[in-house]
Amino acid sequence: KAGVTQTPRYLIKTRGQQVTLSCSPISGHRSVSWYQQTPGQGLQFLFEYFSETQRNKGNFPGRFSGRQFSNSRSEMNVSTLELGDSALYLCASSDRDSLASTDTQYFGPGTRLTVL
Partner 1 sequence: EDKVVQSPLSLVVHEGDTVTLNCSYEVTNFRSLLWYKQEKKAPTFLFMLTSSGIEKKSGRLSSILDKKELFSILNITATQTGDSAIYLCAVEDSGTYKYIFGTGTRLKVLA
Q: How far is CA 5 from CA 18, 52, 83, in A?
A: 21, 18, 25
Q: What is the 3-state secondary structure (H, E, C) of 76-94?
A: EEECCCCHHHCEEEEEEEE
Q: For residues 34 and 76, give the distance between their C-alpha atoms in angstroms, rounded to a whole number.
A: 8
CB of 55 to partner 1, least distance (A): 6
Nearest to partner 1 of 25, 108 (CB atom): 108
Nearest to partner 1 of 14, 56 (CB atom): 56
What distance lies between CA 30 and its chain's CA centroid?
Answer: 14
Nearest to partner 1 of 19, 49 (CB atom): 49
Q: Are 114 and 87 in contact (CB under 8 A)?
A: no
Nearest to partner 1 of 15, 108 (CB atom): 108
Q: How many residues in total does the chain contain?
A: 116
CB of 80 to partner 1, least distance (A): 26
Q: Which residues bind partner 1 (CB under 8 A)?
A: 4, 31, 33, 35, 41-45, 48, 50, 55-56, 58, 90, 92, 96, 102-110
CB of 24 to partner 1, least distance (A): 14
CB of 48 to partner 1, least distance (A): 6
